[in-house]
Amino acid sequence: MRKTWLLGILMLLGLGFAQAQQANLKACFIYVGPIGDVGWTFAHDEARRAAEKAIPGLTTQYVESVKPADTMATIDRLVSGGCNVIFTTSFDFMDQTLEAAKKYPEVIFAHASGFKRAPNMLTYMADFYQIYYLNGLMAGALTKSGKVGYVAAFPIPELKRHISAFALGVRAVNPRATVNVKWINAWFDPVKAREAAEALMAEGNDILAFTEDTATVIQTAARRKVPSFSHYNSMYKYAPDYVVSGQLVDWSVIYIDILKKVQNGTYTSKNLQNVDYWWLAREKAVMLGAQVGMPINPKFEAALKRATMTVNGKRVSVYDRVMELYKDIQSASPKWDPFTGPIRDRNGVLRVPAGRKMTVKELNEMQWVAPGVVGQVADEPK
């Protein structure tokens, strides 16, 4: 009898403890842009809300439009407000996040798109490079002028990787086509994005893709009846006749995975040194599409089925090739990767030897760009 009492009390205590731990899980998010940017930050915030719904006992808080220089001050404020998991969602937040991880050893930090880790700081990324190749195939099939335009944010490895994968795709269909890049040196600047897109179209580019956090490029392209590719979110609604496809992200699978593992004790503030999420289509962190559930805009299906390309000596339709590769990268063990050698950079230097795939580390530190990319590219190795 006494034993059952004791057990009961212990169970109650245990339950209480578990509940307290759950109630204590407060995840805080630091965003670089406004949550309404329709792009990067919007996608993170959608995922934050999804995680809050999916995980009982989780509370969240966010701070938007944080300047990189204010990272530490923002973290100080969040920690004193009771945050025990902090997500910093911009590459520029990396160094200060690492500093904060040292300053607050009990708090768990997670940094998106970076490469520096600590016992209490993990890194995570949902990456588009495979999806970009598929979009490149479509752009290569649809361009009439052989000039594909790209409005780019910053010349950092992430963008070089994406632009290069895109260019490899374009050239797999149309070996003489070029991807013409204009840098705007901003993540969020619709005014610059618009003028860069206008300049690209004035130079004869008849398809546009981009990395900027608004739908500006899509709207600008549609105004001149130029097809474009959606970036980050469903942008189909902005130009239903002109958005061909695009790259979509779902950060919630990553956030929910991390937070559940924190909650059940798998992740602690001592064992994150080697935790790096590099989630792709296989993990459902990224998708191909003009919007969720629409990998390719039906309006472009016929044209993509008509267009053909050579794969291993055989002519196949670009549409079939896109679908085949997309199916492969979604499978449990993908066989294909766009950065499989031999690959030379645009200066002719062999970067990936035949038969080898680029590693995640190499992809993260990539400074060269693929053949077909035209325009000035900062920090490019000679």
Partner 1 sequence: MLNALARALSFGTPLLLACLGAILNERAGVVNLGVEGMMALGALAGFAVAFGSGVGDGNLWLAVLAALGAGTLAAFLHAFVTITLQANQFVSGLALTMLGLGSAGLLGKRFEGQPLFNQPPEWPFTLGAIGLAVLLGLVFYATKLGLSLRSVGENPAAADLLGINVSAVRYGAVAVGGALAGLAGAYLSLVYRPSWTDGMTAGLGWIAVALVIFVGWSPLRAIFGAVFFGLLYYLQFRLQGQSPIPSEVFASLPYLLVILVLALSGLRGQQGNAPEALGRPYRRGER
| Contacts with partner 1, residue ranges (CB under 8 A) | 33-38, 42, 65, 180-185, 188-192, 194-196, 198-200, 202-203, 214-216, 219-220, 223, 233, 237-238, 374-376
**Closer to partner 1 by Cβ: residue 155 or 338:** 155
Q: What is the dihedral of CA 321, 351, 232, 208, to 10 degrees?
A: -70
**Closer to partner 1 by Cβ: residue 95 or 198:** 198
**Closer to partner 1 by Cβ: residue 114 or 372:** 372
Among residues 291, 282, 212, which one has the least CA distance to residue 245? Answer: 291
Tell me how far, at minimum, the Cβ of 93 lies from partner 1, in Å. 18
Interatomic CA distance for residues 342 and 352, integer angstroms:
5
Tell me how far, at minimum, the Cβ of 375 lies from partner 1, in Å. 4
User: How many other C-beta atoms lie within 10 A of the C-beta of residue 360?
Assistant: 13
**Closer to partner 1 by Cβ: residue 100 or 215:** 215
Tell me how far, at minimum, the Cβ of 67 lies from partner 1, in Å. 12
Tell me how far, at minimum, the Cβ of 125 lies from partner 1, in Å. 24
Helix (H) or strand (E) holding 352: strand 350-352
**Closer to partner 1 by Cβ: residue 89 or 233:** 233
Residue 238, classed as helix, strand or coil, is helix
- Kindly report each contact of residues 218-226 with a partner whose C-beta sits within 8 Å and lies 24 or more positions away, as own/partner: 218/242, 218/243, 220/193, 220/194, 221/197, 226/201
Provide Rg for the chain, Cα atoms.
23
**Closer to partner 1 by Cβ: residue 120 or 291:** 291
Tell me how far, at minimum, the Cβ of 194 lies from partner 1, in Å. 6
Beta-carbon contacts of 38 under 8 Å, excluding residues fewer than 6 positions away, are 213, 214, 215, 232, 233, 235
Beta-carbon contacts of 306 under 8 Å, excluding residues fewer than 6 positions away, are 317
**Closer to partner 1 by Cβ: residue 203 or 365:** 203
Tell me how far, at minimum, the Cβ of 213 lies from partner 1, in Å. 8
**The pair of three-digit structure tokens given for residue 272, joined into one six-digit string:** 């994150």
**The pair of three-digit structure tokens given for residue 223, joined into one six-digit string:** 């105004």
Tell me how far, at minimum, the Cβ of 64 lies from partner 1, in Å. 8
Provide φ and ψ at 361, rounded to 5°. Answer: -60, -45
Tell me how far, at minimum, the Cβ of 316 lies from partner 1, in Å. 34
**Closer to partner 1 by Cβ: residue 223 or 357:** 223
Q: What is the dihedral of CA 199, 202, 203, 207, to 10 degrees?
A: 90
Interatomic CA distance for residues 48 and 35, integer angstroms:
11
